[in-house]
Amino acid sequence: MPSLIDVTHPRGIYLPEADLWLDPHHGKARAFVSHAHSDHVARHGLTICSEITHQLMVVRKSVKKSGTVVTPKLREVFEWEGWELRLLPAGHITGSAMLHLTRKADGATLLYTGDYKLRQGLSAERCELMQADTLIMETTFGLPKYRFPPAENVIGQMLAFVRETLEAGGIPVLLGYSLGKAQEILCALRDAELPVMVHPSVAQITEVLTPHLGALPNWRPFNASEATGHVLVFPPGAKLELPNMRTLMLSGWALQSSAKYRYGVDVALPLSDHADHPELHETVEQVKPRRIYLVHGSTREFASELRSRGYDARALGSEDQLELNLSAH
């Protein structure tokens, strides 16, 4: 049995044997970037990412033209300095990718999920997991209370909100991040036969992603003087004051009873682009790792759950990564 690939956390996830950082927040010599959300992007000497992620980073001015960017095709083996790399669809947002590494010397493997979900969304490819000895996974919703309802139910509630607001003479405003959630919202509106206006940042991103999204509703950039009768798609926090507008926030955090008040909206619905608690367990069962490192969210709590089931699970970057070195499951 090969030795496990080393994983360290010196202010970020680092694989010393490959000299590769995973989604570091600050510029590094060499890094893998799982997707183009701003909290996962920095300017690196060498960036490995999907082609769509690269396009988005260029549009959002997150990369220097002089930097080296390598964009392997999804699922294809990329040979690199004694390693085999594969980018796999992560299901998070359009272009998001997991990274699977194989150490050619002995066949040891590692899977880094980045942000992901197993549920099939409307705007991203379905996630594809692959067996690995070491699993580094995000646990944003790592508590048992986070169990998302079926997306079709949530979308049905969203469409009912939209139609009720329009029939009452109001302006429905759907809130979601410009990259990812906004495109999911647009895809959910494509069969509603309703005119849509979007915030300029949503328009910029959607223009880049349109070839990858399939059919979309008839949308155009926001014009306040003509907003009546339209569905508006805006990012949270964007300043907007219109008469008779009603706001709906789409977020996994809507499962919290205080979400409506925390976001200052009329309605909050739980539509997420992250894995929920059951999906986290399903991920571990499918990957069958010998060791698991957890990042983001409820890492310690979920690590404790996994250890109770016999896994060697550690909250990366926290004290409990030094806890019991349990035998592999």
Q: Say what the pLDDT of residue 328 is.
A: 29
Ramachandran category for residue 264: left, alpha or beta (phi over 0 → left; psi -120 to 50 → alpha): left
Task: Identify the CATH number of the domain in which residue 296 sits.
Answer: 3.60.15.10
In this structure, the answer to whether residues 192 and 241 fall within a common structural domain is yes
Q: Say what the pLDDT of residue 323 is.
A: 35
Q: Say what the pLDDT of residue 329 is.
A: 28
Task: Identify the CATH number of the domain in which residue 181 sits.
Answer: 3.40.50.10890
pLDDT digits (tens, 9 = 90+) for 271-320: 999 999 999 999 999 999 999 999 999 999 999 999 999 999 999 976 44
Average pLDDT for 198-222: 95
Q: Say what the pLDDT of residue 318 is.
A: 60
Average pLDDT for 47-70: 84
In this structure, the answer to whether residues 89 and 164 fall within a common structural domain is no
Q: Are 137 and 213 in contact (CB under 8 A)?
A: no
Residue 292 DSSP label: E
Give the span between the Cα atoms of 253 and 261, in whole angstroms.
12
Give the span between the Cα atoms of 305 and 310, in whole angstroms.
9
Choosing from 235, 251, 269, the residue where a domain stops is 269
In this structure, the answer to whether residues 30 and 133 fall within a common structural domain is yes
Choosing from 225, 252, 269, the residue where a domain stops is 269
Is there a domain that residue 62 lies in? yes
pLDDT digits (tens, 9 = 90+) for 125-158: 999 999 999 999 999 999 999 999 999 999 999 9
Please count the structural domains in the chain.
2
Give the span between the Cα atoms of 219 and 225, in whole angstroms.
16
Instruction: Give the pLDDT band of residue 169 (cuts 50, 70, 90).
Output: very high
In this structure, the answer to whether residues 177 and 316 fall within a common structural domain is no
Is there a domain that residue 329 lies in? no
The pair of structure tokens assigned to 201 is 């940042």
The pair of structure tokens assigned to 131 is 């067996």
pLDDT over 90 (residue 89): yes
Residue 243 structural domain = 151-269
In this structure, the answer to whether residues 261 and 317 fall within a common structural domain is no
Is there a domain that residue 1 lies in? no
Number of C-alpha atoms within 13 angstroms, CB side, residue 135?
Answer: 28
Residue with tokens 């986290």: 280
Is there a domain that residue 133 lies in? yes
Residue with tokens 């197993």: 118
The pair of structure tokens assigned to 171 is 């302006």
Which among 209, 208, 164 has a CA at the least distance from the CA of 184?
Answer: 209
pLDDT over 80 (residue 63): no
Instruction: Give the pLDDT band of residue 60 (cuts 50, 70, 90).
Output: confident
Q: pTM, whole model, 2 decimals?
A: 0.93
Is there a domain that residue 74 lies in? yes
101 CA to centre of own chain: 20
